[in-house]
Amino acid sequence: MSTQLSLTSRLYQSLWSEQPTWTTEPVSVWARLFALRGLVAVWRERKYYREELKRLAEDGPQRIDDVGLTLAAVEAELQKPFWKA
């Protein structure tokens, strides 16, 4: 996975993986929109990354080896839906 994708994914994963805390204060609508926008950005990055992996796999297995992945790892990654890390 690219460095930029993994850094962005880790940022938004940390925002969404925390256990919800119930407070008496209302959550800002802007905060929710910001989090949602970030989540959609991560989903787009995952979709793009998996499309690139698919293209590399179709071009030839030697290109997958150049990236440092195995064909089995690429196939497993391509089977995941865009919302799963």
Residue 59: its pLDDT value, please? 87
Q: Alpha helices, DSSP H only, in 1-85? A: 3-17, 29-59, 61-67, 71-79
Q: How do the domains of the chain map onto residue ranges?
A: 3-14+27-79
As averages over each run of 10 residues, the pLDDT of the chain (85 residues) reads: 53 54 67 90 94 90 85 92 89
State the CB neighbour count (10 A cutoff) for residue 46: 20
Residue 13: its pLDDT value, please? 57
CB 75 within 8 A of CB 50: no
